Amino acid sequence: MLANASRYFKQFGAQTFDINTIPARTRQKLRNAILNNTPIDREMAYMVALELKRWALSMGATHYSHWFHPLTGSTAEKHNTFLQSSSLIDNVISEDFSADELVRGEPDASSFPHGGMRSTFEARGYSVWDPSSPAFIMTVNDVKTLFIPSIFIAYTGHVLDKKTPLLRSMKALSDSCRRLLALLGRDVAYVQPFVGPEQEYFLVHEHEVHQRLDLRLLGYTLLGAPCPRGQKFQDHYFGAVNDNVLAFMEESEEALVRLGVPVKTRHNEVAPNQFELAVLPENANIAADHNQLTMEVLKRAARKHGFYTLLHEKPFAGINGSGKHNNWSLITADNENLFDPPETKEKNLVFLSFISCVVRAVHRCNGLLRSVFANAGNDMRFGANEAPPVIVSLFLGKKISDLLFNLGQQGFSEKDALKLGLPFLPNIERDYTDRNRTAPIAFTGNKFEFRMMASSQSIAFPNTAINLAMAEAVDAFADQLKQRLASQRLEQAVSATIAGFIKEHQAVIYNGNTYTDKWEQEAARRGLFLAKDTPSALLAMHAENNLALFASYNILQPEEVMARYRIKLQMYIDTVETELRVTRDMIRTRIIPSVFDYQGRISHSIDTLAKRPGHENLIAPQSTYLARISLKLNNLLADMKELDTLNEAIKPVQDLAERARFCAQQVRPAIQKAREQAAKLEERVSRQCWNLSRYADIYTF
């Protein structure tokens, strides 16, 4: 430990189990099991359980829990003490933690979302220890619990969580990459997808949440007129962090550092009250665990500082929403990033081979990638204010595009130096590519940034789809390369395979502005998948080719994919129906009474004025103003009647797909229409009468 190290460095992983405390022989077997996918025997599990118990008790933990990612999108836990009954007759109690308790738990499988794979009377499920992700101590109000990262399956073996497919996809991708690298003359032990998510979020004062039903029940606003200032001055992005917010950030980061989360960056984001926390890239499985922890810690720490964390994709209208940029790369066992631009022609062929595989993966699985990023919140965010559009395309930049289309070129030349005109300033190098803020997927130097990720969603299943799409592309490249190597030299065979991939899949490459109508028309001409709402996007998930793709790599069987399709549809329906009920409630109990109150005050003022001699000429303009407000209220009442009608019309619709389409095509547009009318009234009704906090009240940082 460095004497002058920061407290972050000193505290890093303090609440995370260190496998180096396990006896050397067991530790080596455990490492081998994780890296090479070999079985974990009972002796190994016993030794790990013994050391885990010793460490957890020394840390003050009283309970342990398997911690897993069910299909709710959040995490699940059931706490058990370490107490054991040694003798039922003599009532002798001891503290113990067996190998069986480490390896397996038994949650109720029918009480979690299962998409029809379980019935109420078929309840047994298993949480199974995932040794590839470290156990940790979670501290909540001085209560300490040992959490054991786990997967979750049904008694039948059906996968009921988000981590099992991710782990399977990581193995499949590693196998595919090793095979291709071997053909390219490279022998590596494994290849791991690394992910570094950038978590965007909003903070609001907690008392504002209690005053608004939409914020309290949904975590975002359904009603609200734009703030006069909004983000017009562009001064929030990278601005000085508010003192109270900085204290919250510091506490959040310290908690995450102790849990072994490698926090890296914090800053103000573009929208008022919006912030970001980014972490260093990690093994995709651990990154998925750590991102769930990040969201949980952000929510808990906020309440200690009088704030409330909003993870929704579009909490406020008229300003930027929140995403979760998913920085994805491939790292070999030798710690080499396969997407690092090389300087030699030999390495250039390896680099361009894998880049071309990404091109194929994004093109061939265009609809699948769109579907895994789809949710009700993202539908409100996509297409503006630096959010990606609904069409999945790939930005590579001019330099890499030129290399792909002109394979005779040498490797990457030295980067250009930027001339700043001030000799005392240090020289900096210009990157090979610019940054395209509108691109759904962009190459950003040595990784691909998937920018369609919803800020509230788990990163596990989207990365499963990314890994799967890439595994198929790498295998297809290896198949073609192997066939060509029978008659061609390596360089010639690789170049021909890259050229074939780019010719077949170049439709997905687009380096321009994806916000324009021109691009949407061009994307349609290129045959790219277009779905403007979640129900439409989810159709791609269960397309025959995608069902076959999941099954061919043993990631998920068709019934398991269909279950996820039904669950995502149901979540979308539940969200929109809740929006409908909350909107009706807020209009009926808050907005309409506010407008009546304000009308009454104006009417009383006009009546008083009319009784004063000589004021007759003043009455007409004020009566006109009152009439305008009354007209807008009548319009809102008509919108309210439409919402009531839709609320009844949706009830008999039983088919999930039909109900979801009804929500997307009928309910959401009606809610938006009512929202716009309510906003017009909010801009005219006095603050004393208006019963809802306004955006200007909430934007206080």
Three-state helix/strand/coil letters over 458-493:
CCHHHHHHHHHHHHHHHHHHHHHHHHHHCCCCHHHH
> 574-698: what fold?
Four Helix Bundle (Hemerythrin (Met), subunit A) (1.20.120)
Q: Which residues contact 31 (CB under 8 A, 6 or more apart)?
A: 19
Identical fold at 169-556 and 574-698?
no
DSSP label at residue 426: P
Give me the half-sphere count of Cα atoms (radius 13 Å) on the Cβ side of residue 65.
19
What is the C-alpha separation between 320 and 316, in angstroms, rounded? 8
Q: Which residue has the tokens 């549809």?
A: 569
Question: 10 Å Cβ neighbour count for 651?
Answer: 10
The pair of three-digit structure tokens given for residue 51, joined into one six-digit string: 């050391």
147: left (phi over 0), alpha (psi -120 to 50) or beta: beta
The first and second tokens of residue 575, run together, are: 């969200």
Check: CB of residue 117 under 8 Å from CB of residue 158: yes
Q: Determine the Cα–Cα distance for residues 224 and 603; give it in Å rounded to an integer.
A: 25
Q: Residues of 463-479 as b/e, b for ≥16 C-beta within 10 angstroms?
A: bbbbbbbbbbbbbbbbe
3-class secondary-structure state, position 501: helix
User: How many degrees, rounded to 5, is the angle at CA 516 between CA 511 and CA 520?
Assistant: 85
pLDDT in tens, 566-589: 999 999 999 999 999 999 999 999
Amino acid at 240: A
Crossing angle of helices 163-183 and 284-304, in 10° steps, is: 140
Q: Which tokens sit at 108?
A: 């109720």
Give the dihedral sign, CA 256/257/262/267. Answer: positive
Name residue 646's amino acid.
L
Amino acid letter for position 97: F
Residues 6 or more apart in contact with residue 519 via CB below 8 angstroms:
389, 391, 510, 512, 513
Q: How far apart are CA 399 and CA 411, in angstroms?
A: 11
Alpha carbon 67 to chain centroid, angstroms: 19
Written as six digits, the tokens of 538 are 């989810």
CB 160 within 8 A of CB 109: yes
The pLDDT assigned to 591 comes to 97
Rg (CA), the chain: 28
Give the SS3 label for residue 132: coil
Which CATH class, in words, describes the domain spanning 169-556?
A: alpha beta
- Residue 291, phi then psi, degrees to nearest 5: -70, -35
Residues of the chain with pLDDT under 70: 1-3, 87-90, 120, 345-346, 384-386, 408-416, 431-432, 434
Which are the contacts of 89, defined by CB distance < 8 A and separation ≥ 6?
none
Residue 414 pLDDT: 60
Q: How many angstroms separate the CA atoms of 313 and 454, rounded?
A: 6
Q: Torsion over CA of 667, 672, 677 and 679, rounded to 10 degrees?
A: 140
Could you tell me which residues are beta bridge partners of residue 200?
A: 276
Spell out the domain ranges in the chain. Answer: 7-161, 169-556, 574-698
Rounded-to-integer distance, Cα 49 and Cα 127, Å: 16
pLDDT on residue 413: 58
Report the phi/psi class of residue 277: left, alpha or beta, with left for phi > 0 and alpha for psi in -120 to 50: beta
Residue with tokens 């069987």: 557
> What's residue 269's pLDDT?
92
Q: What residues contact 419, with CB distance under 8 A and at least 6 apart?
A: none
Quote the tokens at residue 179.
């095979």
- Burial classification of residue 133, based on how many CB atoms lie within 10 Å of its CB (0-12 exposed, 13-18 middle, 19 or more buried): buried
Q: Closest Cα to residue 321, out of 515, 452, 207, 513? A: 452
Return the CATH number of the domain spanning residue range 7-161: 3.10.20.70
In a 13 Å sphere around the CA of 38, the CA atoms on its Cβ side amount to: 10
Question: Which residue, 332, 335, 321, is CA-closest to 386?
Answer: 321
Instruction: Give the start-end residues of each E strand in 373-505.
Output: 394-395, 417-418, 428-429, 441-443, 448-450
